[in-house]
Amino acid sequence: MGKLQTPKVMREIFGHLPDGTAIEMVRLRGDNGFEVRLITYGAALQSIFVPDRAGRLADVVLGRDDLAGYLAVRRFLGATIGRYANRIANGSFELDGRRFQLPTNDGANALHGGLAGFDRKPWTITAIGENPAPFVTLSYLSLDGEEGYPGTLKTEITYRISGGSELSLEFSAVTGKPTIVNLTNHSFFNLAGVDRDGGILDHVLTIAADSYLPVSAAGIPSGAPDKVDATPFDFRKPHRVGARLRDADEQVRIRQGYDHNFCLRGGASSVPRLAARVEDPGSGRVLELWTNQPGVQFYSGNFLDGTVTGKYGRVHRQFDALCLEPQVYPDTPNRPDFPSARLDPGQTYRHTSLYRFSTN
């Protein structure tokens, strides 16, 4: 008798919404214990298990143990964000001469899709399998007018183990009317493991960006991209995340840390290229983010405030984890000088990002 192989793809019930809708968990397995767990609520990454330099596995993303946790408090943990990731000033934009007003849910501005964005929706599994690699495809149909956005938008996302310890995310969307689309994943990473004490201030970060977007205190871009030269935003060479948080820099102060869009060299690309690299010196775990998007929002977990208890009984506190959100720029619909987020009928929105894990 040969040894039974562990399935590379598994699915199970994670919980039920108040209306009875079943929410599933899917587990995708790679090599050496690498495992990705995602749930159909918000098409969210719930766990990613990655080996360290000694082969020890740890979960490296914040999440909740059960569906009730996700429903109780909206924190975007690992979630798919849409229709529009990041902020739109005053929740308002114009398209083809018509003004659209979105619900404002971040002060005067619209954030991450509105009051009930894609992160608050049950997604449907439309395909799942192991060949040629473990994958699952989920879809969500956003009707014309949902959260104020024009056009019925059909969105799909495929999570795939594209290497032994590499996860690829492939987003696509089509619309029935001209609209705006900016989808991303909002995982909070701590490469030391989210089950232990210690945050991400000693993580070493590199970002392939020569400029970033200064913002108002509310997080809205205040002008054109600014050079990172001689600022705490210069991550062209590796820097500890926490090395310059105490610098007398107005941009760091008003957002209580990093919460800014970095303008990636070369803008949008046809194929993913290296956008950012993070290393935890203690464990040796390394994450490389590759994307075809023009920007990446680096968020240092400034507003994790101790009010949410996640997996492993850990309370989420400031700087416990960081986000790297590939995207078009914030407030792009109101900024014709920024890369466009427009999608027209007959076109397909495509966003591919790779999360490549290794050890050093």
Is there a contact between 259 and 283 (Cβ–Cβ < 8 Å)? no
Question: Has 316 been annotated as catalytic?
Answer: no
Of 137, 188, 184, 189, which Cα lies nearest the Cα of 159? Answer: 137
> Residue 227 and residue 341: Cα distance in Å, rounded?
23
Which residues on neighbouring strands pair with residue 204, listed in sequence order?
240, 279
Question: Has 186 been annotated as catalytic?
Answer: yes
Can you read off the two tokens belonging to residue 324?
Answer: 């790297």
Can you read off the two tokens belonging to residue 256?
Answer: 């209580």
Q: What stretch of H or E contains 227? A: strand 226-227
Residue type, 207: I
Between strands 179-180 and 342-343, the pairing is: antiparallel
Question: Which of the residues 35, 146, 156, 325 is marked catalytic?
Answer: 325
Question: Which of the residues 112, 186, 203, 351 is marked catalytic?
Answer: 186
Residue type, 67: L
Can you read off the two tokens belonging to residue 267?
Answer: 């803008």
User: Residue 356: left if φ>0, alpha if ψ -120 to 50, beta else—which one?
Assistant: beta
Is there a contact between 268 and 339 (Cβ–Cβ < 8 Å)? yes
> Residue 26 and residue 3: Cα distance in Å, rounded?
24
Catalytic residues: 186, 325
